[in-house]
């Protein structure tokens, strides 16, 4: 079990590095799917199999497919890849990368300085998650339902195009 965790962690880190260094959007998205699948394996090892399934279905399925649809609608060409290559020069990415690595080093120092509590290793069942989701956290479920509704309405409102062609029955009435 341990070796599975470390292998999946290595795959997740490498594929995420590949995501953030690609110029081509579709290649980056394919590596993003690999990263999500590796993190799903980690959830499985940590004793959360239902969350592993949700990760694959929602993240690697729905969200990535949504982004791919939008990329297909945008109809990107080879020139956009060249633009991306121009935008990503070493002078731009070295500074933020060093600063972020300093933050990561501090995080590691805090983790290693404190004596780490050992992990018992008993899985949390999906039934317990469901019971607490519809017991003490029912208000959060209702709020996330409202959030999704607002997301649908907002996406429809923002993504709407100005109508260019009016229906032929309405043309006379308009003009």
Partner 1 sequence: MNPIPMDHGLMLAGILFMLGLISVLIRRNIIFMLISVEIMLNAAGLAFIVAGARWAQPEGQVMFIFIITMAAAEVSVGLALILQLYHQLKTLDSDAANQMHG
Tell which positions 76-105 bind partner 1, by CB under 8 A: 76, 80, 83-84, 87-88, 92-93, 96-97, 100-101, 103-104
Question: Contact at 8 Å (CB) between 13 and 47?
Answer: no
- Residue 33 near partner 1 by CB under 8 A: no
Which residue's structure tokens are 């997740």? 12
Residues 9, 42: Cα–Cα separation, whole Å: 7
Is the Cβ of residue 156 or residue 169 nearer to partner 1 in the bound state? 156
Q: What share of the chain is helix, strand, coil (3-state, %, to 5)?
A: 80, 0, 20
- Residue 34 near partner 1 by CB under 8 A: no
* Distance of closest approach, residue 169 Cβ to partner 1, in angstroms: 27
* Distance of closest approach, residue 46 Cβ to partner 1, in angstroms: 4
* Distance of closest approach, residue 147 Cβ to partner 1, in angstroms: 5
- Residue 39 near partner 1 by CB under 8 A: yes
Residue 174: exposure state from Cβ atoms within 10 A (0-12, 13-18, ≥19):
exposed
């Amino acid at each position: 079990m341990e070796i599975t965790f470390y292998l999946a962690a290595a795959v997740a880190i490498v594929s995420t590095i590949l995501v953030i260094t690609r110029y081509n959007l579709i290649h980056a998205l394919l590596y993003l799917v690999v990263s999500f699948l590796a993190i799903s394996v980690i959830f499985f090892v940590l004793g959360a199999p239902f969350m592993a399934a949700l990760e694959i279905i929602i993240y690697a399925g729905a969200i990535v497919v949504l982004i791919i649809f939008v990329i297909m609608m945008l109809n990107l060409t080879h020139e956009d890849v060249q633009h991306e290559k121009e935008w990503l020069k070493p002078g731009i990415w070295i500074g933020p990368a060093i600063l972020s690595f300093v933050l990561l080093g501090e995080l590691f120092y805090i983790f290693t300085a404190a004596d780490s509590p050992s992990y018992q290793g008993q899985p949390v069942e999906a039934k317990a998650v469901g019971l607490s989701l519809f017991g003490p956290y029912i208000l959060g479920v209702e709020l996330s339902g409202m959030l999704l509704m607002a997301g649908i309405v907002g996406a429809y409102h923002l993504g709407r195009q100005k109508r260019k062609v009016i229906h032929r029955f309405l043309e006379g009435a308009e003009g």
